[in-house]
Amino acid sequence: MRTAVIVESRMTSKRLPGKNLKPILGRPMICRLLERLKRCRLADVICLATSVDASDAPLEELARAEGVECFRGSLEDVLERSLGAAKSVSADVMVEITGDCPLADPGIIDSAILRHARGDVDYLANVLDRLSFPIGFDVQVYSVSRLEEISQLTRDPYDRVNVTPFFYRHPDQYRLLNLFAPPALDRPRYRLCVDHPEDFEVVSDIYAALYPSKPDFSAVDIIAFLDRNPELAKKNVWRDDSFTFPSSGGKSRQEILELNG
């Protein structure tokens, strides 16, 4: 089984345009994310899924420079684009990561891949029905064949833009599994994705504090740092939409993630 990490990214973010190229310690944010994803031991390939819009040409150039694959597809139909990216690298299993999560953790991702490989699940996530991980450590894992099936079943714009809602909006058709954070990572009120300027400030401060002495800093390191700096942790959590997450109406199974390595 060939496993691909598919990174969905585009330049035309409505809330913080061009955020993927904003520098963190002198390198574009998307490059910092790719640097972390390269440490995933169980991913066979990384592919940046961006659009054919001219504004996204710099993302393709950066992906090539970083030595990862790149697929360019629809700007608005992200489901089609992500499926095309997975097929372009002959993937059987897809790990979906969004480009606005520059602190994505390879240990969490590898552990999610391992759990999916054990079977009895069609759609695995760690943000479904109940938050326990910080927003920004999000991971979703599912088979490419399932995504292809969904692509044929729905033309709903909401499903096409957000890729996976058809899974958890049809819990009677798919086996859904949500992974809770182990105690060391159970911080649902920490926000580590980048949608707004204050999010970028928090992420940049984390990199500035941890990266120089430990470039491969982990999710545990991030949580420990924020626990020691509560004012920073609270800096970007005041918006009403700060902690929105998908719901299956309570129909998903729940397990605690077993971190491996």
All domains of the chain, ordered by start, with CATH? 3-256 (3.90.550.10)
Lowest mean pLDDT among 101-115, 179-193, 238-252: 238-252
The whole-angstrom separation of Cα 149 and Cα 83 is 10
Q: What confidence score (pLDDT) does residue 261 get? A: 55
Find the mean pLDDT for residues 144-153: 98
pLDDT in tens, 35-85: 999 999 999 999 999 999 999 999 999 999 999 999 999 999 999 999 999
Element (H, E) at 31: helix 29-37
Judged against a pLDDT cut of 60, whether residue 25 lies above it is answered with yes
Question: Token match 């961006």: residue?
Answer: 50
**Which pTM was predicted?**
0.96
Judged against a pLDDT cut of 90, whether residue 208 lies above it is answered with yes
| Orientation angle between helical segments 78-88 and 144-153, nearest 10 degrees | 150
> Do 106 and 84 meet the contact criterion of CB atoms below 8 Å apart?
no
Backbone angles phi, psi at 61, to 5 degrees: -60, -40
pLDDT band per the 50, 70, 90 thresholds, residue 259: confident
